[in-house]
């Protein structure tokens, strides 16, 4: 039977529950344990696929095609193991299941209620990962903040689970904030005391407090927190602001978070964590010998979280190349031809980001034209690849009006178009081409050299595709489809001949980049931006 760790958050959102959970999981995994993490989100959307990135940041996609919270990206990047649909549950999904069962008559005339029906479904989902897997530890992160109305059924379910599973098999970690009051020059514990009170009201006594803080927590303060919150002093863990999220596992190790958890779970004589690879990565990340500047052309640049996985993939690829990747956000909505010249001239490479809808397309096309003509390394992802095709068809092949039907449904030259099976779909949730698909690479292409193999699997999230009717003319003019789906023939990668590095991909490579396996295309793009490794 697996042991369970529940992670709740107090005082404010954005304290980094995902990073703390992933860091703890990393430490436990480094001790040889099989660990997974799941995220429960209290909102009513069935999944985050229909959410604008401004709401909760990017939508992460798993191998099995689930559209999930971006925290699952952290879990995969830290643990280097894939997650699935079962690792992300929302209130919407819980209610959907219960209501469908009610319609099917499964409750035999009973009144369907939050307790026990919704809480039972939460408990069923919370323990679902155990089936068919051999996990030693399952970490469950509860989204939102204790005290929110939406969190209540989850807290009640955790309270019950501690009885169902046995208290010795569960640990409850509360992540909280210790604010620093500048005027008083003091760290304050009161918000944490209140937050723990709130948890106690829900029947949960936290076993461990993880305290986010800008300054070190003095001994007296730890003692005070322990006293007021009914935990032992060793269970008050300092989580000081870190230079990078990848420092957090080591900071947690120093604070003995993993040891404390194992002790509470009665897991004795565990080997010390083996973090050799992790430390090697950190060493390279923090001691770059070179630097590249990459323009990130997108329309959600105001919010870092909107391109989370891309930013992280750049960090991994930078470390791999022992170089610092400086990412300059370029807003596609304001980028016109003259601005493109000024803003893109000094860059070592540009990445054109994924996206939806017409807004910002013109700027993406200008950026691509500039880097294509000026031989600056280019990497286009999903919409970025589709824009590269449109730009090439218009400006190289002279096909006036070449467009994606997403942008202009009436275009006479639909170089990017809906797949026939997408045309009849009207519902938005979960209906895109989602998850991992195979792709065959052409020998000696840039992509083949980057991956070092000819068959790859990459994750998708899009409705529109390259229109194969244009393939022949396009290839004759020098834009080559170097990656194709072996079953459907759909174009997955385009590359330009006579260009130092011009790669557009229909899939999302950023979703598969991890600390241990930096993504080959990001690594090769950065290498190209470094001008084949020459020190600048």
Query: Would you name the residues annotated as active-site residues?
Result: 382, 508, 510
Closest CB to ligand GLN among residues 316, 508: 508
The C-alpha atoms of residue 139 and residue 33 are separated, in whole angstroms, by 12
Q: Which of 3, 16, 25, 6 is nearest to 257 (CA)?
A: 25
Closest CB to ligand GLN among residues 343, 461: 461
Closest CB to ligand GLN among residues 123, 461: 461
Q: How far apart are the first and last CA of the chain?
A: 55
Total length of the chain: 536
Per-residue b or e along 455-486, where b marks 16 or more CB atoms closer than 10 Å to that residue's CB:
ebebbbbbbbbbbeebbeebeeeebbbbbbbe
The C-alpha atoms of residue 471 and residue 491 are separated, in whole angstroms, by 9
Q: Which of 353, 356, 470 is nearest to 414 (CA)?
A: 470
Chain residues binding ligand GLN by CB under 6 A are 354-356, 382-383, 406, 461-464
Question: Taking the complex as a whole, how short is the minimal distance between the CB of residue 65 and ligand GLN, in angstroms?
Answer: 13
Question: Taking the complex as a whole, how short is the minimal distance between the CB of residue 518 and ligand GLN, in angstroms?
Answer: 21
Hey, is 64 helix, strand or coil? coil
Please give the distance of CA 428 from its chain centroid, rounded to a whole number.
Answer: 21
Question: Taking the complex as a whole, how short is the minimal distance between the CB of residue 72 and ligand GLN, in angstroms?
Answer: 17
Question: Taking the complex as a whole, how short is the minimal distance between the CB of residue 530 and ligand GLN, in angstroms?
Answer: 26
Closest CB to ligand GLN among residues 147, 384: 384
Question: Taking the complex as a whole, how short is the minimal distance between the CB of residue 461 and ligand GLN, in angstroms?
Answer: 5
Closest CB to ligand GLN among residues 20, 383: 383
Q: Which of 377, 395, 403 is nearest to 466 (CA)?
A: 403
Please give the distance of CA 74 from its chain centroid, rounded to a whole number.
Answer: 6
The C-alpha atoms of residue 55 and residue 78 are separated, in whole angstroms, by 24
């Amino acid at each position: 039977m697996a042991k369970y760790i529940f992670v709740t958050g107090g005082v404010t959102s954005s304290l980094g529950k995902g990073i703390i959970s992933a860091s703890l999981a990393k430490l436990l995994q480094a001790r040889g344990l099989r660990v997974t993490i799941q995220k429960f989100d209290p909102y009513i959307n069935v999944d985050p696929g229909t959410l604008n990135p401004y709401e909760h940041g990017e939508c992460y996609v798993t191998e099995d095609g689930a559209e999930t919270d971006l925290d699952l990206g952290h879990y995969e990047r830290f643990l280097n193991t894939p997650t699935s649909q079962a690792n992300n549950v929302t209130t919407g999904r819980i209610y959907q299941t219960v209501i469908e069962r009610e319609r099917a008559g499964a409750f035999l005339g009973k009144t369907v209620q939050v307790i026990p029906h919704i809480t039972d479904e939460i408990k069923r989902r919370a323990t679902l990962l155990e089936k068919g897997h051999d996990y030693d530890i399952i970490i469950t992160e509860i989204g939102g903040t204790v005290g929110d109305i939406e969190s209540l059924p989850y807290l009640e379910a955790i309270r019950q689970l501690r009885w169902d599973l046995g208290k010795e098999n569960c640990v409850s970690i509360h992540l909280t904030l210790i604010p620093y009051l500048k005027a008083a020059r003091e760290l304050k514990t009161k918000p944490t005391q209140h937050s723990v009170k709130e948890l106690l009201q829900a029947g949960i006594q936290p076993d461990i407090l993880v305290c986010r803080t800008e300054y070190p927590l003095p001994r007296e303060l730890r003692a005070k927190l322990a006293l007021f919150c009914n935990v032992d002093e060793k269970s008050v863990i300092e989580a000081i602001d870190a230079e990078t999220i990848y420092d957090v596992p080591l900071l947690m190790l120093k604070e003995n978070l993993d040891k404390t958890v194992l002790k509470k779970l009665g897991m004795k004589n565990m080997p010390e964590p083996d973090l050799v690879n992790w430390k090697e990565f950190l060493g390279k990340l923090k001691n770059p010998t070179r630097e590249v500047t990459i323009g990130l052309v997108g329309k959600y640049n105001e919010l870092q979280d909107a391109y989370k996985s891309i930013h992280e993939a750049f960090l991994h690829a930078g470390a791999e190349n022992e170089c610092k990747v400086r990412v300059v956000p370029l807003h596609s909505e304001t980028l016109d031809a003259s601005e493109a010249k000024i803003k893109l001239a000094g860059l070592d490479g540009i990445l054109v980001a994924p996206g939806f809808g017409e807004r910002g397309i013109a700027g993406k096309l200008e950026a691509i034209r500039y880097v294509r003509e000026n031989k600056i390394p280019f990497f286009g992802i999903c919409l970025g690849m589709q824009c590269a095709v449109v730009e090439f068809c218009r400006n190289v092949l002279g096909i006036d009006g070449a467009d994606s039907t997403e942008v202009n449904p009436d275009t006479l030259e639909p170089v990017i178009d809906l797949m026939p099976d997408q045309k009849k779909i009207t519902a938005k949730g979960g209906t895109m081409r989602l998850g991992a698909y195979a792709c065959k690479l052409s020998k000696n292409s840039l992509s083949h050299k980057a991956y070092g193999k000819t068959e790859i699997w990459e994750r998708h999230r899009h409705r529109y595709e390259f229109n194969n009717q244009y393939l022949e003319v396009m290839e004759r003019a020098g834009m080559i489809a170097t990656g194709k789906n072996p079953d459907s023939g759909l174009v997955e990668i385009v590359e330009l001949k006579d260009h130092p590095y011009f790669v557009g991909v229909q899939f999302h490579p950023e979703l598969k980049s991890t600390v241990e396996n930096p993504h080959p295309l990001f690594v090769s793009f950065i290498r190209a931006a470094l001008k084949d490794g020459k020190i600048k």
